Amino acid sequence: MIRRIPQDRDRGIPDATVARLPLYLRALNGMAERGTATVSSEDLALAAGVNSAKLRKDLSHLGSYGTRGVGYDVQYLIYQISRELGLTQDWAVAIVGVGNLGRALANYGGFASRGFRIAGLLDADPHVVGDRIVGLVVEHTDELESVIKKRGVSIVVIATPATAAQQVCDRVTAAGVTSILNFAPVVLAVPDGVDVRKVDLSIELQILAFHEQRKANGGPIMAEEWPDGVVM
Partner DNA sequence: ATCACTTTGTGCATCGCTTCACAAAGGCAC
Partner DNA sequence: GTGCCTTTGTGAAGCGATGCACAAAGTGAT
| Chain contacts with DNA (rule: CB under 7 A) | 14-17, 40-42, 50-54, 56-57, 59-60, 64-72
Q: Judge contact between 38 and 73, C-beta under 8 A.
A: yes
Q: Any residues with CB less than 8 A from the CB of 1 and at least 6 apart, and which? A: none
H or E segment and range at residue 48: helix 41-48
Binder of residue 173, out of DNA, a copy of itself, none (CB less than 5 to 8 A by kind): none
Interface mask (CB under 8 A) for a copy of itself, residues 81-120, using x and -? --xxxxx-x-x-x-----xxx-xxx-xx-xx--xxx----
1 DSSP assignment: -
Contact between 160 and 188 (Cβ < 8 Å): no
Do 154 and 177 meet the contact criterion of CB atoms below 8 Å apart? yes
Is 55 or 142 the residue whose CB approaches a copy of itself more closely?
55
Residue 142 interface partner, choices DNA, a copy of itself, none, CB cut-off 5-8 Å depending on type:
none
> Closest distance between a copy of itself and the C-beta of residue 156, in Å?
10
Check binding of 71 to a copy of itself (CB under 8 A): no
**Contacted by 37, from DNA, a copy of itself, none: CB < 5 to 8 Å by type:** none
Restricting to residues 184-223, name those near a copy of itself by CB under 8 A.
Answer: 185, 187, 193, 195, 197, 199-215, 218-221
**3-state SS class at 137:** strand
We find the least distance from the C-beta atom of residue 127 to a copy of itself, in angstroms, to be 16
Q: Coil, helix or strand for 20? A: helix
Nearest to 62 by CA among 83, 39, 91, 46: 83
Please give the residues from 163 up to 182 whose contact with a copy of itself meets the rule CB under 8 A.
Answer: 178-181
